[in-house]
């Protein structure tokens, strides 16, 4: 089954696909209120983008202005694909512990269970 494109689609109006072994991608969302929550792990590993127009503008450059991007998202044909002439490297970084510049250590829930698998390997 595949949900049709549109304003109620769980992926929003745009998704940013990039090659990766986990098949993760970035996407818009119709549920903008989710960005107000401190914990936002509602999807199955894909990443919601709070401002997809700004990301698209950054990725596509000046050839695509914000108005053209919005028009393509709102009124563009379904499944319009835009390939980049020059690839942009994307780095996804999953961690459950972070040390800030001031030396403060923070721990986060391991929502995907990677720490347990890593501990077994070690």
97's tokens: 């512990």
Going through the chain in order, the beta strands assigned E by DSSP cover: 15-16, 26-27, 47-48, 97-99, 105-107
**Helices and strands of the chain, counted as H and E runs:** 3, 5
Whether residue 23 lies in the annotated active site? no
Q: Active site residue: 8, 46, 57, 114, which one?
A: 46
Whether residue 46 lies in the annotated active site? yes
Query: Rounded distance, CA 53 to CA 70, Å?
Result: 7
Task: Count CB-CB contacts under 10 A for residue 40.
Answer: 13
Q: Active site residue: 8, 23, 27, 57, which one?
A: 27
Give the residue numbers annotated as catalytic, written as ranges: 27, 46
């Amino acid at each position: 089954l595949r949900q049709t494109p549109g304003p109620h689609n769980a992926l929003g109006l745009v998704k940013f696909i990039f090659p990766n072994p986990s098949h993760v991608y970035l996407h818009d969302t119709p549920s903008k209120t989710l960005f107000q929550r401190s914990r936002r792990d509602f999807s199955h590993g894909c990443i919601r983008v709070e401002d997809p127009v700004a990301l698209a503008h950054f990725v596509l450059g000046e050839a695509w202005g914000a108005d053209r991007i919005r028009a393509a998202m709102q009124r563009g044909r379904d499944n319009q694909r835009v390939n980049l002439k020059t690839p942009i490297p994307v780095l996804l970084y999953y961690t459950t512990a972070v040390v800030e510049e001031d030396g403060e250590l923070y721990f986060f829930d391991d929502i995907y269970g990677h720490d347990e698998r890593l501990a077994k390997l070690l």
